[in-house]
Structure 1
Amino acid sequence: MAEIARRAGVSKNTVSLALRHDRQIPQETRDRIARIARELGYNKNATVARLMAELRRGKAPRFRSCLAVVNAHADRNAFRTHPTIPTYIEGCRRRAAALGYRLDEFWLHEPSLDGIRLNKVLRARGIMGVIVVGLMGNNRLPDRFLPTWQSFPTVVTGVRTHEPALSFACTDHHMLALAAFRKALALGYQRPALVIDPVIDELVEHRITAGVQVAQRALPRARRVRTFLPPDDSPGSEAGFHEWREREHPDVILTLYNNVRRWLEKRRFRVPRDIGLIQLEWRSSSPDWAGMNQHNDVVGEAAVEMVIGMIHNNESGIPAFPRATLIDSSWVDGSTVKTRLPPAR
């Protein structure tokens, strides 16, 4: 604003009044200042403008800006009933409230909803940015919502999207796998192994399997266990799992699935006496498991901070260079592992 004032040969206060179309300033002067502002690439910060408008009206500042949080999961109630998605929402709500924003919820699979209609609703409600939560199964958002991603600052949680590629916040899946594998070795396990659904592996761009493969380089080849990728047909997964286990002889399993424990116990395996289990997405609903807390609530907080930063910087549309915020995981002790003595030499 100071540069506009210098070029126009007026005070900053005059510039401020002119850009608000105040009639105290002659029309000719307002037009000249507006032209100079355009030449300098000046853009009004909508958030600050709303706050200053309230102050000028004599109101105490009440920051009631709004963000959209879009449920991309097939289940309309996933924000409340899914095993992990509510944790993202908890973080989104906590950080949004701390920064003076409220959240309005939308479901991406609403039959009557598309990008054009969603844009109208967002603008009518004064919503300034979008956070997408719960995308699973693939990395692509429905094509019919392209107008929304082209019009609003948008951040995706949990995964990276393709076509379009949007900025995202998620756990660092590569370091998650590395840390879990190294923890297993530190506990004395000799043959750590990974069990992961190929759909999830694809969704996180193979960063978990890649982390395990990198960690295995520290082991002699004889101790490197092949990853078990269950087939898509769940009835065959249990039998296939036991065939793999009998062939590979893992002594601790890294997985995202609690049903692996049931499969083992049905065969009379005792956890952790006979075999250890490490949950790669530790959940408070199963507190006895040892594993990695992905801090999905912190991921939600990061997504809110990212989209608000975009709003403050007047960024919108599909970014040329999407940004990523990666959140570290941390180890949680539990009864599904034990410290093992090194083998006798």
Structure 2
Amino acid sequence: MSVTLQQIAQAAGVSSMTVSRVMHHSPRVSAATRERVQQAIEALGYQPDPHLARMMTMVRGRKKSRVRAVIAVIRETVPEDALQKTVYQYVPIEAIRRRAEQHGYHAEEFWLGRDGLDAVRLGSILRARGIEGIIVSPQSSQMLCAQLDYTPFAAATFGFGLTNPSLHRAAGNMNLGIQLAVRELRARGYQRIGLAVTQWVDHRAEGSYSGAMLHVQQSIPVAQRVPVLLFPHNEFSRCRKVFIDWMKTEQPDALITFDQHIPEWLQSLGLRVPEDIGLVVHDWTPAMKSYAGIHQRRDHVAAAGVDLVATQLLQNECGVPEVPRQILIPPEWIEGPSVRARAA
């Protein structure tokens, strides 16, 4: 026979509403009362009904959609910062909004650094508007978003750019992406495969780019291993000489790198794509149809980030988590004319 909330309430000497608040981690319950209710739950052997929980989640979602609750998307705008350049891609607001709407929320952007908006003022604005859920999208090397007080918010971030505080995060699994790209290139006969990205790109992926390349190189002959090139500048256009010197020294026959600047630098070396060298874009988007690439599926990354925030709101969780959860979306290989076709 299933245990009811009323039975738990009677055993703990509280109301059914208090029991419900404890189960949903409401901050409105004192520590002593919470402990008493939890002891009653354990003593009676209560097990939640997953079907009922799902139904109540749907009901709450419909209520939220009527009041148009907002999830804030925190961006950064630092005009002189190199990470604002178009060579770097970020999760689009359209994908975030699509998923937020499915949860009954509206996603609204707030830009740290724009019109003097700092972290303290932004926090005050969010609290004044009753906004409880936020998604952080780091977009500058200054990490303005790290200055925000996350205590009152259910929060998540995209990628690994924001390391402190460490929030729940959704990101592309670029370890798998690099391994996938290397397998595709080797299946096409390429042997000396090079990786050339900026240090920030590798850092944002928590070393997944360089780590994956070092891993796959252990299974190929030493003569075919190409040292990873991590460009020293976020301002990618300043890296031409470093790239040219690396190309002349290592002579790769295929590259995993950026779609900007690299093609013209290769042309200056007298190399044709794909006749002389294969070129794979490390962060492919639909606008890059002239290239093969690794598609990081940012629409799925966006959905995962929204899900993380919506779940916390449902469970009345807020603040920096003790154990951050991570959702990694596996990228996919995109065929393109910048590499030769697979052998039959």
TM-score of the alignment, normalized to the shorter chain, above 0.5 = yes
Matched, 1:66 2:70: yes
Matched, 1:194 2:195: yes
Deviation at 1:252, TM superposition (A): 0.5
Counting only pairs closer than 5 Å after superposition, residues 244-323 of structure 1 correspond to structure 2 as 244-323=246-325
Change (3 A) 1:106 1:36: same
Q: Secondary structure of the residue that 1:241 maps to in structure 2?
A: helix
Q: Any stretches of 5+ residues in structure 1 without a counterpart?
A: 21-33
2:37 is matched by which residue type in structure 1?
L
Deviation at 1:236, TM superposition (A): 5.5
Q: Tell me the residue number matched to 1:29.
A: none
Q: Tell me the residue number matched to 1:96.
A: 100
Q: Tell me the residue number matched to 1:2.
A: 6
- Normalising by structure 2, report the TM-score: 0.78
Change (3 A) 1:291 1:19: closer
Q: Any stretches of 5+ residues in structure 2 without a counterpart?
A: 22-30, 41-52
1:196 is matched by which residue type in structure 2?
V
Contact 1:194-1:253 at 8 Å conserved across structures:
yes
Q: Tell me the residue number matched to 2:226.
A: 225
Change (3 A) 1:283 1:202: same
Query: Considering only CA atoms, is the larger Rg found in Structure 1 or Structure 2?
Result: 1
Contact 1:170-1:327 at 8 Å conserved across structures:
yes
Partner Cα distance (1:129, 1:194) in 2: 37
- Normalising by structure 1, report the TM-score: 0.78
Counting only pairs closer than 5 Å after superposition, residues 119-134 of structure 1 correspond to structure 2 as 119-134=123-138
Contact 1:290-1:333 at 8 Å conserved across structures:
yes
Q: Tell me the residue number matched to 2:153.
A: 152
Contact 1:160-1:166 at 8 Å conserved across structures:
no
Contact 2:257-2:281 at 8 Å conserved across structures:
yes
Q: Tell me the residue number matched to 2:243.
A: 241
CA RMSD of aligned residues (A): 3.6
Q: Secondary structure of the residue that 2:135 maps to in structure 1?
A: strand
Deviation at 1:163, TM superposition (A): 2.2
1:117 maps to which of 117, 121, 128 = 121
Contact 1:133-1:157 at 8 Å conserved across structures:
yes
Cα deviation digits, residues 108-155 of structure 1 (max 9, x gap): 2246434443233223322121001143437x555542x2x1221110
Contact 1:189-1:340 at 8 Å conserved across structures:
no
Counting only pairs closer than 5 Å after superposition, residues 329-340 of structure 1 correspond to structure 2 as 329-339=331-341
Partner Cα distance (1:166, 1:67) in 2: 16
Q: Secondary structure of the residue that 2:170 maps to in structure 1?
A: strand
Q: Secondary structure of the residue that 2:231 maps to in structure 1?
A: coil
Change (3 A) 1:184 1:2: farther
1:157 is matched by which residue type in structure 2?
F
Query: Aligned residue pairs: how many?
Result: 312
Q: Secondary structure of the residue that 1:123 maps to in structure 2?
A: helix
Partner Cα distance (2:77, 2:179) in 1: 28
Contact 2:9-2:37 at 8 Å conserved across structures:
no
Change (3 A) 1:261 1:83: closer
Change (3 A) 1:118 1:38: farther
1:131 is matched by which residue type in structure 2?
I
Contact 1:166-1:322 at 8 Å conserved across structures:
yes
Contact 2:12-2:37 at 8 Å conserved across structures:
no
Percent identical among aligned pairs is 31
Contact 2:176-2:212 at 8 Å conserved across structures:
yes
Deviation at 1:318, TM superposition (A): 0.8
Q: Secondary structure of the residue that 1:280 maps to in structure 2?
A: strand
Partner Cα distance (1:130, 1:111) in 2: 20
Deviation at 1:95, TM superposition (A): 0.3
Partner Cα distance (1:17, 1:231) in 2: 56
Deviation at 1:85, TM superposition (A): 4.7
Deviation at 1:201, TM superposition (A): 2.1
Partner Cα distance (1:102, 1:270) in 2: 47
Contact 2:19-2:37 at 8 Å conserved across structures:
no
Partner Cα distance (2:237, 2:18) in 1: 70
Contact 1:175-1:328 at 8 Å conserved across structures:
yes
